[in-house]
């Protein structure tokens, strides 16, 4: 099997290597965690070729990586992971994406499916009324520039300080809900204008609030540590940095194109435009990126508040009594400074994860005390017609993938193709016939996110488990979905 003329070598059942070819400018090999059938699809949509392109970036170490949910993206493939030497490497907006820190949050409850089934229609109506959603939708929180700068500097803690959440929520957010180094002066006025009234909004596309039931426990001990048991109701929230993050990416792509030309970088794809991490432009982008990360986590914090509020109204009990604690919050479009072992030497790296999730193993100092002995929880959504998973990070992931794993099912069909082939109204009827309540503002938008448009998330997860970079805790299935 070949990718862009290079012979691919299978290293293990779920690990394939693209050999380093210096004549193509590759500084490291490419490695894809995948099976043969999914690899063939990645070659067909040219996402695998993007793994080769990323391997040409200055300062990349070890390998250009991709997860099994790989598909074509801007610059990096979705599912791409690349670590750059923090002193000599580059930082690239194409390695993060437009929806900075788009991510998933999982809440537990003390409720059973029987409890929810009695009031599901009322609960879905309340969520639909209470959670702002949709393309360009404004939220209830509108901030002037001064207060907005405080919010994007402090992240989730800004929201909790104003009553949007509980103090203990912080413990279950990556980086405790605030990425250090945020520089509000590095954010344009246009980005502020797009984001100042969208905090606490769901957005559209593949973003959702989903009511789920735990259908299967794969590891009872770790499930207990996460507060999960069979038949229990959970809530999954998927959203990101909205127009604010999109504008940060747009602004800095233009900056990076100028830097790439000035530095004389010869890149196979202009969408990989980048700047040295230590350059003025690299430092500014990192500062703006941190603002985008903090915005996204704060956005999910406010959405959590609206969800808890909705459950309180329907069940006439406090969210605390309902046990609506956060299990974990993962972001999957990031460039983070982390320490990893390279050839036995601890080095500071800038790890780009584009449509990939952090998966730190047991004992990592960044993990909350509750999870230090088991590893980082990883929330992996499927699609609204199948299932989702809770996984854990592993020691093997720290060695093999810079502590990274998949982020979801991964698209197989473009949004435009999905709309051509699938009727949103027919899809809604089919899902509801299976007991999955759907609230969506747009039927074409619903068709874009049809289960048939995605890979099989169970297969993606099995590959990650088989490769040793994750292990399974629980599987959840949807019973109610709120879409933008």
3-state secondary structure the chain: CEECCEECEEEECCEEEECCCHHHCCCCCEEECCCHHHHHHHHHCCHHHHHHHHCCCCCECCCEEEEEEEECCCCCCEEEEEEEECCCCEECHHHCCCCCCCEEEEEEEEEEHHHHHCCHHHHHHHHHHHCCCCCCCCCCCCCCHHHHHHHHHHCHHHHHHCCCCCHHHHHHEHHHHCCCCCCHHHCCHHHHHHHCCCCCCCCCCCCEEEEEEEEEECCHHHHHHCCCCCCEEEEEEEECCHHHHHHHHHHHHHHHHHHHHHHCCCCCCHHHCCEECCCHHHHHHHHHHHHHHHHHHHHHHHHHHHHHHHHHHHHCCCCCCCCCCEEEEEECEEEEEEEEEECCEEEEEEEEEECCEECCCCCCCCCCHHHCCCCCEEEECCCCCCCEEEEECCHHHHHHCCCEECCCCCECCCHHHHHHHCCHHHHHHHHHHCCCEEECCCHHHHHHCCHHHECCHHHHHHHHHHCCCCEEEEEEEEEEEEEC
In Å, how far are 54, 80, 85, 330, 356 from 50, measured between CA atoms? 6, 9, 20, 24, 15
Which residue has 């016939």 as its token pair?
433
Q: Tell me: is residue 181 an annotated ligand-binding position.
A: no
Q: Tell me: is residue 305 an annotated ligand-binding position.
A: no
Q: Tell me: is residue 206 an annotated ligand-binding position.
A: yes
Rounded to 5°, the CA angle 242-255-75 comes to: 65
Burial (CB < 10 A; 0-12, 13-18, 19+), residue 83, is: buried
Spot the catalytic one: 62, 305, 352, 407.
Answer: 407
Cβ atoms of 244 and 295 within 8 Å: the answer is yes
Q: Tell me: is residue 384 an annotated ligand-binding position.
A: yes
Q: Tell me: is residue 393 an annotated ligand-binding position.
A: no
Q: How far apart are CA 177 and CA 182, in angstroms?
A: 12
Q: How far apart are CA 461 and CA 81, in angstroms?
A: 17
Q: Tell me: is residue 354 an annotated ligand-binding position.
A: no
Q: Tell me: is residue 208 an annotated ligand-binding position.
A: yes
Q: Tell me: is residue 25 an annotated ligand-binding position.
A: no
Q: Tell me: is residue 238 an annotated ligand-binding position.
A: yes
Q: Tell me: is residue 251 an annotated ligand-binding position.
A: no
User: Is 190 designated active site?
Assistant: no
Q: Tell me: is residue 35 an annotated ligand-binding position.
A: no
Q: Tell me: is residue 210 an annotated ligand-binding position.
A: yes
Q: Tell me: is residue 382 an annotated ligand-binding position.
A: yes
Q: Tell me: is residue 115 an annotated ligand-binding position.
A: no
Q: Tell me: is residue 483 an annotated ligand-binding position.
A: yes
Q: How far apart are CA 49 and CA 73, in angstroms?
A: 11
Q: Tell me: is residue 409 an annotated ligand-binding position.
A: yes
Q: How far apart are CA 149 and CA 214, in angstroms?
A: 39
Q: Tell me: is residue 209 an annotated ligand-binding position.
A: yes
Q: How far apart are CA 370 and CA 88, in angstroms?
A: 36
Annotated binding-site ranges for GMP? 206-210, 332-333, 381-384, 388, 407-410, 483
Annotated binding-site ranges for Mn(2+)? 99, 207, 238, 332
Residues recognised as catalytic: 407
Annotated binding-site ranges? 99, 206-210, 238, 332-333, 381-384, 388, 407-410, 483
């Amino acid at each position: 099997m070949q990718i862009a003329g290079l012979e691919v070598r299978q290293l293990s059942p779920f690990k394939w290597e693209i050999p380093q070819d210096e004549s193509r400018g590759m500084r490291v090999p490419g490695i894809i965690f995948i099976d043969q059938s999914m690899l063939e699809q990645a070659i067909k949509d040219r996402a695998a070729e993007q793994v080769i392109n990323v391997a040409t970036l200055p300062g990349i170490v070890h390998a250009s990586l991709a997860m099994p949910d790989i598909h074509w993206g801007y610059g990096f493939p979705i599912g791409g992971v690349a670590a750059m030497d923090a002193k000599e490497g580059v930082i690239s907006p194409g390695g993060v994406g437009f929806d900075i820190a788009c991510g998933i949050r999982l809440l537990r409850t003390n409720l059973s499916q029987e409890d929810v089934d009695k009031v599901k229609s009322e609960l879905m109506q309340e969520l639909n009324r209470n959670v702002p959603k949709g393309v360009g939708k404004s939220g209830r929180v509108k901030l002037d520039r001064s207060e907005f700068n405080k919010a994007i500097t402090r992240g989730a803690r800004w929201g909790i300080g104003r009553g949007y959440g509980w103090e203990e929520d912080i413990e279950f957010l990556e980086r405790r809900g605030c990425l250090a180094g945020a520089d509000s002066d590095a954010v344009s006025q246009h980005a502020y204008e797009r984001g100042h009234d969208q905090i606490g909004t769901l957005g559209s596309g593949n973003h959702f609030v989903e009511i789920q039931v735990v259908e299967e426990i794969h590891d009872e001990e770790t499930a207990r540590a996460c507060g999960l048991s069979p038949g229990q109701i959970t809530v999954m929230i998927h959203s990101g940095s909205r127009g604010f993050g999109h504008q940060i990416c747009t602004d800095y792509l233009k900056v990076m194109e100028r830097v790439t030309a000035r530095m004389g970088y010869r890149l196979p794809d202009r969408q990989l435009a980048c700047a040295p991490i230590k350059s003025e432009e690299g430092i500014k982008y990192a500062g703006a990126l941190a603002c985008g990360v903090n915005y996204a986590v704060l956005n999910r914090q406010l959405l959590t508040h609206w969800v808890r509020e909705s459950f309180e109204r329907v069940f006439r009990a406090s969210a605390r009594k309902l046990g609506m604690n956060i299990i974990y919050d993962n972001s999957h479009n990031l460039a983070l400074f982390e320490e990893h072992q390279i050839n036995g030497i601890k080095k500071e790296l800038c790890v780009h994860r584009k449509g990939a999730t952090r998966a730190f193993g047991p004992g990592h100092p960044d993990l909350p005390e509750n999870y230090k002995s088991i590893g980082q929880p990883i929330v992996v959504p499927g699609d609204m017609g199948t299932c989702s998973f809770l996984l854990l990070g592993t020691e093997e992931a720290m060695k093999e993938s810079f502590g990274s794993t998949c982020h979801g099912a991964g698209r197989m069909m473009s949004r435009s193709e999905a709309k051509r082939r699938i009727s949103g109204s027919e899809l809604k009827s089919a899902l509801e016939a299976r007991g999955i309540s759907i609230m969506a503002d747009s039927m074409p938008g619903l068709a874009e996110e049809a289960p048939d448009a995605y890979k099989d998330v169970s297969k993606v997860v099995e590959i990650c488990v088989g490769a040793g970079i994750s292990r399974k805790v629980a599987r959840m299935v949807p019973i109610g979905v709120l879409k933008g």
